[in-house]
Amino acid sequence: MAVRTATPTTGWLLRGADGRLTAYAAASGCILRWTETTPGGPEWTGPERLEVPGLEPYLSIAQDPKGYVYLTGLRRRAHEDGRAETDVVYATQFQSGRALTPWRSIGTPYGQDWQRAGQIGAPTLAVDSLGPQVFVRNAGGGVCGRRQDARGVWGPWTDLKGSHVLDVMSAAVTAEGRLELLAPAGEFVLRWRQDEPGGVLRRVLNTPAKPQAGSSSSAPSGDGRIVHFWRAAADSVLQMQEPDAPEGPDSETGAEGPAPVALGALGAGTGPVAALRTTVGGRACTVLAQRSPSGLPAVAVYADGEAASASWSETGDECIGAPALALDAQGRLVLAVLAADGRLRVARQRTDEAGLALGEWERA
Confidence of residue 91 (pLDDT cuts 50, 70, 90): very high
Supply the pLDDT for residue 244. 55
DSSP symbol at 187? S
Is the model's pLDDT at 8 over the cut of 80? Answer: no
- 131 closest CA partner among 116, 148, 115, 114: 148
Residue 363: phi and psi, rounded to 5, are -105, 115
Confidence of residue 222 (pLDDT cuts 50, 70, 90): confident
Confidence of residue 258 (pLDDT cuts 50, 70, 90): low
Is the model's pLDDT at 268 over the cut of 60? Answer: yes
- 364 closest CA partner among 94, 71, 37: 37
Supply the pLDDT for residue 311. 82
Q: Which CATH class is domain 13-272?
A: mainly beta
CA gap 272, 2 in Å, rounded: 21
Residues 275-295, mean pLDDT to the nearest whole number: 91
CA gap 15, 328 in Å, rounded: 7
Q: Which residue ranges make up each domain of the chain?
A: 13-272
- Average pLDDT of every residue of the chain: 90
Alpha helices, DSSP H, located in 74-173: 114-117
Residues 79-100, mean pLDDT to the nearest whole number: 91
**What digits encode the pLDDT tens for the residues 144-154?**
999 999 888 99
